[in-house]
């Protein structure tokens, strides 16, 4: 018999995969049309989304920016053949009142100050949020900014924030001197005492003397003129900036072996977490002055700062405590084996790992605090939501709702989404394990 076997001497060139298995078409087939039920659900969802999107776009794309009242908007909608009731957006209210929604009743000629403050805020956050991408020396400006911010917003003499900053300087040098000579605990107590004595008894004299010799001041602005998104950002930044270090101290205090310290921290955390923020704001507005000496004028926004910060720090403490509990015991034992004391171990080994684990919870708490700033409307402060009532009280805009709330929702979404994206960036940057 003749041999008809064949042995191939060269490989066939590879063929491209089927078009239906790769790219966008392959992804859609695997995720959206993988079965009868998924295909039906996909079609129904696409139809619903298209209906909502086209309806929203049609409602929003109305040339009503130049309108000066709701009546003019309704006349425009009638001319376009649309329903005069929610047949289209009346953007004239935003064009006319955007300034009020952003700055409240802050004097228009002084609004460059909060704008400058907002720009400087990003500069100050640069070395904190993006330490590897900005000059390291910019951290000095970050340390100075907390004293510049209130001066720009409230105005007054420049020597007041200088005197407050000097209290921290004197306290720091007292701490360093006593820590080297005696102990860190004595140094900490001494630094706090020196700073408090300076602020209570000497700072006002220092401010008045220098203000009379060298009167450098900005025009004062009353707290009742604050409002809009500026007020929400101010409260949010202060509460976020102060609640994180306070939350760290409370979390460490709750895990402390010192019974008094642990009891105080647990009591504070449980009390604050058991009381609604709106109740604390009412306390700040009406009851806090009862505990102050007669004649004390305690700024309303300062009271809100205190209450919102305490509220956020209690929740922050529990988030950080979760990060501490997630660390294996070997990390603590490793710190002990290196001969580190308590604070060195926390600063160099324990707390960096705990904070990295707690990033999602920390940012979620920050976002919640920022959104909760709208609750100040219950004590008479004009946050963006409370300003909508003032705007709709105008006869020209009585009945406008969705445009105002939509604009405010967009502002808050931009701020909260930015924090969420930074959280994801930070998690990715600090990821050290293998997935």
pLDDT, tens digit (0-9, with 9 covering 90-100), for 368-424 = 999 999 998 888 888 898 899 889 888 889 888 899 999 999 999 999 999 999 988
Does the pLDDT at position 231 exceed 80? yes
Does the pLDDT at position 1 exceed 70? no
Report pLDDT for 271.
93
According to the 3-state scheme, what is the secondary structure of the chain? CCCCCCCCCCCCCCCCCCHHHCHHHHHHHHHCCCCHHHHHHHHHHHHHHHHHHHHHHHHHCCCCCCCCCHHHHHHHHHHCCCCCCCCCCCCHHHHHHHHHHHHCCCCHHHCHHHHHHHHHHHHHHHHHHCCCCCCHHHHHHHHHHHHHHHHHHHCEECHHHHHHHHHHHHHHHHHHHHHHHCCHHHHHHHHHHHHHHHHHHHHHHHHHHHHHHCCCEECCCCHHHCEHHHHHHHHHHHHHHHHHHHHHHHHHHHCCCCHHHHHHHHHHHHHHHCCCHHHHHHHHHHHHHHHCCCCCCCCHHHHHHHHHHHHHHHHHHHHHHHHHHHCCHHHHHHHHHCCCCHHHHHHHHHHHHHHHHCHHHHHHHHHHHHHHHHHHHHHCCECHHHHHHHHHCCHHHCCCCHHHHHHHHHHHHHHHHHHHHHHHHHHHHHCCCCC
Tell me, rounded to whole angstroms, the distance of Cα 144 from its chain centroid: 20
Report pLDDT for 292.
67
Sorting pLDDT into bands at 50, 70 and 90, what band is 332? confident
With beta carbons less than 8 A apart as the criterion, state whether 128 and 142 touch.
yes
Residue pLDDT, tens place only, 9-66: 777 777 776 666 667 777 887 788 888 898 899 999 999 999 999 989 988 888 889 8
What is the percentage of the chain residues whose pLDDT exceeds 70? 94
- Residue 90: which of 63, 121, 117, 52 has the closest Cα? 63
With beta carbons less than 8 A apart as the criterion, state whether 156 and 217 touch.
yes
Domain ranges of the chain: 30-61, 106-156+225-430, 157-218
Does the pLDDT at position 311 exceed 90? yes
Does the pLDDT at position 200 exceed 90? no
Does the pLDDT at position 433 exceed 70? no
Q: How many CB atoms lie within 10 A of CB 397?
A: 22
- Give, in words, the CATH class of 106-156+225-430: mainly alpha
Torsion of CA 379, 385, 390, 394, to 10 degrees: -160
Does the pLDDT at position 287 exceed 90? no
Report pLDDT for 282.
86
Residue pLDDT, tens place only, 131-165: 778 888 888 899 999 999 999 999 999 999 999 99
Dihedral sign from CA coordinates of 165, 166, 171, 175: positive
């Amino acid at each position: 018999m003749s041999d008809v076997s064949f042995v191939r001497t060269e490989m066939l060139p590879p063929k491209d995969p089927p078009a239906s298995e790769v790219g966008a078409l392959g992804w859609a087939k695997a995720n959206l049309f993988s079965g009868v039920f998924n295909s039906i659900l996909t079609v129904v969802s696409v139809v619903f989304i298209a209906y909502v999107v086209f309806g929203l776009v049609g409602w929003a794309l109305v040339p009503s920016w130049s309108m000066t009242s709701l009546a003019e908007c309704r006349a425009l909608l009638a001319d376009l053949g649309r329903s005069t009731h929610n047949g289209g957006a009346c953007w004239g209210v935003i064009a006319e009142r955007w300034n009020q929604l952003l700055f409240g009743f802050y004097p228009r000629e002084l609004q460059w100050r909060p704008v400058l403050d907002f720009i400087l805020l990003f500069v100050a956050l640069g070395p904190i949020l993006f330490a590897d991408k900005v000059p390291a020396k910019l951290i000095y400006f970050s340390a100075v900014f907390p004293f510049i911010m209130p001066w720009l917003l409230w105005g007054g003499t420049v020597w007041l924030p200088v005197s407050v900053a000097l209290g921290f300087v004197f306290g720091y040098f007292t701490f360093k001197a006593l820590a080297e000579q005696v102990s860190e605990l004595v140094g900490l107590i001494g630094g706090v005492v020196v700073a408090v004595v300076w602020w209570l008894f000497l700072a006002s004299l220092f401010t008045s003397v220098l203000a009379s010799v060298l009167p450098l001041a900005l025009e004062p602005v009353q707290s009742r003129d604050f409002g809009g998104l500026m007020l929400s950002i101010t409260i949010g930044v202060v509460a976020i900036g102060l609640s994180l270090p306070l939350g760290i101290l409370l979390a460490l205090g709750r895990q402390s072996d010192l019974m008094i310290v642990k009891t105080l921290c647990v009591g504070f955390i449980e009390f604050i977490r058991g009381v609604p923020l709106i109740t604390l704001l009412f306390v700040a507005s009406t009851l806090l002055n009862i505990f102050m000496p007669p004649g004390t004028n305690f700024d309303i926004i300062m009271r809100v700062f205190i209450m919102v910060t305490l509220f956020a720090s209690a929740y922050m403490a529990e988030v950080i405590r979760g990060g501490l509990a997630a660390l294996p015991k070997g990390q603590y034992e490793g710190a002990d084996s290196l001969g580190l004391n308590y604070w060195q171990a926390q600063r160099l080994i324990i707390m960096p790992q705990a904070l990295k684990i707690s990033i999602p919870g920390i940012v979620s708490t920050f976002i919640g605090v920022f959104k909760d700033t709208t609750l100040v409307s219950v004590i008479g402060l004009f946050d963006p939501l409370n300003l909508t009532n003032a705007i709709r009280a105008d006869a020209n805009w009585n009945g406008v709702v969705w445009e105002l709330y939509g604009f405010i929702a967009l502002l808050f979404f931009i701020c909260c989404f930015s924090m969420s994206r930074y959280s994801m960036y930070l998690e990715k940057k600090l990821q050290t394990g293998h997935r």
